[in-house]
Structure 1
Amino acid sequence: MHTTLPTWLALSAATIIPSVSAFYPYQYDAVNVSPSPSHPQRLSRASNDNRARSATLPLRRIATNLHSRQSNVYNIVSSKKPSQDKSVAIDQDGKDLSYMVAVTFGDSKEEYHLLLDSAASNTWVMGQDCKSEACKTHTLFGKGDSSTLKTDTKAFSMTYGTGSASGTLASDTVHLGSTLSSPLTFGLANNVSDEFRAYPMDGILGIGRGSVNKQDGEIDAPQIMDVLSSSQLIPSKLYGIHLSRASDSLSDGSLDIGHIDESRFSGDLNYLECVDNDTGFWEIPLEGASVDGKDAAMGTVSRTAIIDTGTSFILMPSADAKAIHTPIKDMAQNGESFFVPCDTTASLAFSFNKQSYNISSKDWIGDKVENDSRNLCRSNIIGRQTFGEHQWLVGDVFLKNVYAVFDFEGKRVGFGVKSSDDEASKASASASSGLPTPSASASGVARPSISAAAEKAPQGQASSGVATADLSSSGLALVVAFAAIFMFV
């Protein structure tokens, strides 16, 4: 039975559930919701927090010296130093919502955590002249920090939905890990919007494909992958990404720059050519999706997936999100928000190029709703169209289940099923091919509370005989924006 959420639950969804930023801060629509003071329910992070407390995470809080400079006061979960050369640890916020890399500039010893964003090509960091409220809780960079920093009067301005950052250009040597250093032109933000007050990152590291048509305010300079490649510091202009899951408590996330870590996946990489666009997005054809092995049919129009490390969840047009949730018993909907039983055994999978990838139940079901007799949890599939009507924004809830390769020269994205030798993905297996492809569909997702049956589906593993939708590529023009979802806490 499918139900509609009562007004009190819809109100809590609108006020407590995470915001999505692209910078496109996402908030659940409360337009048709009437406040009900007699039902002060809220969404709880109890299920996530309990797991986090049971795990030993390398949380560190960077001390703040208010007398001399501002420093990042957020808790950061540090990953282990990768064993491979030219690999950089990917840290996170402990909630699988923000994945970052620590960089240093010039001769400064201070670390700056920059959001790893495959849907953006510009890099910027909060500057020492920033007086915005958000800057007061982050590590700021300026002339007093590096003697090799060169500043410029040329302005940059980035607008992401309702969020924004602006300032002037600067250049200095950027250090990634212990072996990669290169000069880079980036932005020094002296004004950032209030949305950043809740985010742990001190800026953005853009690793997108690069926009063909630069928009006003964009930084018109080579991005980090361009300079590393042109300086011949890396053998190939590509990178591989392994995102770790906080609840696994392994903290082994890594960004493999210029090379592929074959120990992270089993079998061969499944490559997909990028759809032509002028936005710099890594956009690929989405062949299909399934719920419990059955096609989540959404018609015959082709769909594409924008693969984005800067987005925590999955955003898609409302009709597609409804098609995915409808087969799930006792699901509930309020506007673009969907809820499912916390103990649901429903399994979800994406299909790319005739290979199907399961999404772990740890990732696709979100926070538990307190004081609700139906034992509902929030779904991390959001029914909101962020770009074209057939484009999905596919973020970390999918990427945690695969090893992903972003190949600039080949203009392609590759997925590898996480290796069974990788403890972080004990649930990983191999992808199968030759799956039947009925009509059209697509799916992507995430979750904290896990049922035994749902956990049996290995993360990233293709289920044999899964029915998937037949979706071909489409080349739609997009708005330039990076996409990221964060939790307001």
Structure 2
Amino acid sequence: MGTTRFTLALGALVFVSLFGSLLDAASIPSSVKGLDYRSLIIYLKRNPDYSPNGPAEYARALRKWGAKVPEQLIKSLAAMAGAHGHPSKGEEGELGDVPAVSIRNDREYLSPVGFGTPVQWLNLDLDTGSADVWIYTTDTHPYVAQSRDHVFRINESSTAEKVHNTTWWITYGDGSSAYGGVYRDVVTLANITVHNATVESAISVSNSLIQDPYMDGIFGLAYRLPVQTSPKQPTVLSSLLPLLNEPLFTVDLRWRSPDGVYTFGYIDHERHSGHIKYTSLLPGAQFWELEYTGIHVEGQDRWYKSTQIPWRAIVDTGTTLILMPQDVSDLYFSDVPNAMFNESIGGVWTYPCNNPVLPDFEISFDSGFIARIPGKYMNYTNMPDNPKVCMGGLQGWDDSGRAIFGDVFLKAVYTVFDVGQGRVGFAPKKF
């Protein structure tokens, strides 16, 4: 049996929203005179050579959500980089930036999004955990731009208009950052064109963010989080919603399959089995943040619930792993033979790859829905420096009860992000 560190003695959750909302979901009209209401589907381009680096993904998730990256994890990633070729270094390397040691094709899903007139197609990461739409452009510093496969050529778009005296700046948990200028231009998603959308042009980007040359930017789809511009500008999501049949979008990620899609403006009922059950977002939520009520590990005879405060989770397509309170991950891996809480790489749960299939993991919601994540989904990847050792898709962090439900979770459920009614719907799907 694995090392047991489970107590379920969780502290109070403190998560302060720093910004007001530009998008009042309740005010989105069900119809607007003169507009052509439509829906669209975006097929995900899955990288067939995807080979994730588990420790790097864990560091990336911690960094995104403002958690401290353990010093031992940083050292381990640096050692792995030395064994697999040195990563390029930028001026941010002295600020504690986590080295990027995953292979060049380290992004699993990208989606085509068009910019400008005539349209220029870029591959973007659709991210429900952020609000900004930022891309690499001809404004981008040459040091960064030369590593890109594609950049948006601003001068070739007849509809691009500079928003003067406006900048954007995103800072991540370890101090790495990206910043640049702001334009208004056409954004095209499948058959829908959004005019005068807020497009953020990257001038400079920290080294840890540029290692994947195939990702041309990020398309933020957070619920009510404002963009990080000064002064504030409308989000692209708020400009897109009035053009849709319904103010919602859905996500159907697939495990090791190219068949994943996003749909905007409608629910594809052919893609799920059983009823969609909805959970309301928490009051004042800016992210897709909701409450979950319990957890269960296959083979154990009881469900567990928080002993103190309600458990909260953010549903995030831009995070690969599931991050949960440390006690929860400890409980899960206590049932995995020979699992080890590996402090030598910053506190990551690992186990021999020749183990039988990991146990299924279940998460319950007050709607009555139970998300069942198959054990084979929970087996995330081999360790880059030892292919006989594997790392789980569930990892712990100490963030007072808050969880991040990333792609490992989303591959197991059909998900509806209902902006109009401020809720998230889940339904089972065939595995």
Q: Normalising by the residue count of structure 2, what TM-score does the alignment of the two structures yield? A: 0.72
User: Residue in 1 aligned with 2:377?
Assistant: 363
Residues 130, 221 of structure 2: 8 Å contact kept: yes
User: Residue in 2 aligned with 1:196?
Assistant: 209
1:240-259 paired onto structure 2 within 5 Å: 240-245=250-255, 247-248=256-257, 251-259=258-266
User: Residue in 1 aligned with 2:271?
Assistant: 264
Once the two structures are superposed, what CA deviation does each residue of 1:124-144 show, in whole Å capped at 9, x if it has no partner? Answer: 111212116443222222422
1:155–1:370 Cα change, 3 Å: closer
User: Residue in 2 aligned with 1:394?
Assistant: 405
One-letter code aligned to 1:288:
G
User: Residue in 1 aligned with 2:341?
Assistant: 333
C-alpha separation in 2, matches of 1:108 and 1:266? 40
1:304–1:411 Cα change, 3 Å: same
1:23-102 paired onto structure 2 within 5 Å: 23=64, 29-31=70-72, 97-102=107-112
1:107–1:290 Cα change, 3 Å: same
Displacement of 1:158 after TM fit? Answer: 0.9
Once the two structures are superposed, what CA deviation does each residue of 1:203-245 show, in whole Å capped at 9, x if it has no partner? Answer: 111111123xx58646722222311233xx2111100111133
SS at match of 1:137: coil
Residues 16, 43 of structure 1: 8 Å contact kept: no
User: Residue in 2 aligned with 1:64?
Assistant: none
C-alpha separation in 2, matches of 1:259 and 1:229? 12
SS at match of 1:252: coil
SS at match of 1:208: coil
C-alpha separation in 1, matches of 2:71 and 2:103? 31
Residues 125, 140 of structure 1: 8 Å contact kept: yes
User: Residue in 2 aligned with 1:485?
Assistant: none
1:38-437 paired onto structure 2 within 5 Å: 97-131=107-141, 133-138=143-148, 139-153=150-164, 154-162=166-174, 163-199=176-212, 200-211=214-225, 217=229, 220-230=232-242, 233-245=243-255, 247-248=256-257, 251-278=258-285, 280-294=286-300, 295=302, 297=304, 299-301=306-308, 302-335=310-343, 336-342=347-353, 343-345=355-357, 346-353=359-366, 354-369=368-383, 375-385=388-398, 388-418=399-429, 425=430, 427=431
SS at match of 2:120: coil
One-letter code aligned to 2:70:
D
C-alpha separation in 1, matches of 2:139 and 2:369? 50
Structure 1 range deviating more: 170-179 or 291-300: 291-300
1:16–1:255 Cα change, 3 Å: closer
Residues 98, 312 of structure 1: 8 Å contact kept: no
Residues 150, 171 of structure 1: 8 Å contact kept: yes
C-alpha separation in 1, matches of 2:154 and 2:74? 49
Once the two structures are superposed, what CA deviation does each residue of 1:423-442 show, in whole Å capped at 9, x if it has no partner? Answer: xx4x3xxxxxxxxxxxxxxx
1:229–1:298 Cα change, 3 Å: closer
Out of 60, 79, 84, the residue aligned to residue 20 of structure 1 is 60
SS at match of 1:268: coil
C-alpha separation in 2, matches of 1:234 and 1:227? 10
C-alpha separation in 2, matches of 1:105 and 1:241? 22
Count the aligned residue pairs: 351
Once the two structures are superposed, what CA deviation does each residue of 1:74-102 show, in whole Å capped at 9, x if it has no partner? Answer: 999xxxxxxxxxxxxxxxx6x6x543321
Higher relative contact order (CA 8 A, sep 6+): 2
Unaligned runs of 5+ in 1: 5-12, 45-73, 77-92, 419-424, 428-489
Q: Normalising by the residue count of structure 1, what TM-score does the alignment of the two structures yield? A: 0.64
Structure 1 range deviating more: 349-358 or 214-223: 214-223
1:42–1:414 Cα change, 3 Å: farther
Displacement of 1:27 after TM fit? Answer: 9.1
Once the two structures are superposed, what CA deviation does each residue of 1:395-432 show, in whole Å capped at 9, x if it has no partner? Answer: 000101111000111100001111xxxxxx4x3xxxxx
1:205–1:400 Cα change, 3 Å: same
1:14–1:307 Cα change, 3 Å: closer
C-alpha separation in 2, matches of 1:191 and 1:41? 23
1:264–1:180 Cα change, 3 Å: farther
Residues 330, 340 of structure 1: 8 Å contact kept: yes
Once the two structures are superposed, what CA deviation does each residue of 1:347-400 show, in whole Å capped at 9, x if it has no partner? Answer: 212222332222133321122358979x53111222223xx4111011000101
SS at match of 1:266: coil
Unaligned runs of 5+ in 2: 5-52, 85-101
User: Residue in 1 aligned with 2:36?
Assistant: none
Between the aligned residues of both structures, percent identity stands at 26
Residues 133, 194 of structure 1: 8 Å contact kept: no
